[in-house]
Amino acid sequence: MEKALLQFVSSSINNGVAVFIEWRFFATHVSINTFVVMILGSLPNFLASLAAGIIFIPFSVRKLSVADGRLLVYLFSAVCLVLLIQEEISPFIFGSRINDVNDMITSCIGTFCSVIIYEFAFIRTDRVKA
């Protein structure tokens, strides 16, 4: 279980890096389809918030108590979410009229998914221990 979870975390981070690189270099070539551009534009925020939440799951499931593990994952996910949303809002505060609501929504979805993955990992580990 722990090995599979660690593989999932590392593959998620690797996929996020690959998608981000692809988006940076190839987004101009797929600008014909606005839906694809919207997904590729918001995907890095989703993957950043997802990776920030799941990075501590193996440690918190193996080494920490239930309350401490939940606090670590939830707190780090919330901090990452606040930073990602602040990144989208700060240009608007300083005079720019451009901010991307899609990035904020996908950051929230990524944080929610990381919390759900933690809860499923905890439930599965709890069943294995019992």
Can you give the residue ranges of every domain in the chain? 2-129
Prediction pTM value: 0.68
How many C-beta neighbours within 10 Å does residue 89 have? 12
How many C-beta neighbours within 10 Å does residue 79 have? 11
Collapsing DSSP to helix, strand or coil, 65 comes out as: coil
Q: How far apart are CA 112 and CA 85, in angstroms?
A: 14
pLDDT along the chain (130 residues), means of 10: 64 66 60 70 84 83 82 88 84 70 86 89 64
pLDDT reported for residue 22: 62
pLDDT reported for residue 18: 65
Structure tokens at 105: 């929504």
Q: How far apart are CA 28 and CA 50, in angstroms?
A: 26
